[in-house]
Amino acid sequence: MIYVSRLEHFNAAHKLFNPNWSLAKNKEVFGPCANTNWHGHNYELIVTVKGKPDPDTGFVIDLKKLSTLIRTHIIEKVDHKNLNLDVSFMEDKLASTENLVVEFWKILEPRVREISNNIAALHSLKLYETPRNYVEYFGE
């Protein structure tokens, strides 16, 4: 099994805030991430696919197609946006990195198979919110 990864970058604002809690509890749990005026991150998204190389191309997946897929269906939807207000697939969800990566998976998983003619499968998504904080998701 071969694993191929593509790195993409985006900037976005969000606020961690549970509307069922008081402002005091939100500040206690989320700290500065509950800032009423939002805060932003420079996100890094690593998309890893797995498969066996196509005998005709030697590729598990065409990286140009994978990059276009990620940019079209993810980056253009979230880059320089407010995740709480501007991103339809985050509507009514807490804009945590964990929830964001799950929504990315739902978007990318079927499309990776499609662009690779079912040769490749989405293996994992790693989403860095900061250089020291990231989540990794395997679709489980």
pLDDT in tens, 55-98: 999 999 999 999 999 999 999 999 999 999 999 999 999 999 99
Which of the residues 80, 98, 114, 136 is marked catalytic?
80
* Known catalytic membership, residue 123: no
Please determine, for residue 130, whether its predicted confidence score (pLDDT) is greater than 90.
yes
* Known catalytic membership, residue 33: yes
- Distance separating alpha carbons of residues 57 and 119, to the nearest angstrom: 12
- Assess contact for 38 and 15: CB atoms under 8 A: yes
Q: What is the pLDDT of residue 75?
A: 98
* Known catalytic membership, residue 39: no
Q: What is the pLDDT of residue 117?
A: 87
How many other C-beta atoms are found inside a 10 Å radius of the C-beta of residue 14? 25
- Distance separating alpha carbons of residues 61 and 4, to the nearest angstrom: 8
Domain total in the chain: 1
Residue 93 belongs to domain spanning: 2-137
Q: What is the pLDDT of residue 54?
A: 93
**In the chain, alpha helices (H):** 23-30, 63-70, 76-78, 97-115
Average pLDDT over residues 17-22: 94
- Assess contact for 18 and 94: CB atoms under 8 A: yes
CATH number of the CATH domain containing 38 = 3.30.479.10
Q: What is the pLDDT of residue 124?
A: 98
Which of the residues 14, 33, 41, 103 is marked catalytic?
33
- CA gyration radius, the chain: 17
Q: What is the pLDDT of residue 43?
A: 98
Q: What is the pLDDT of residues 104-118, one digit of tens each?
A: 999 999 999 999 988
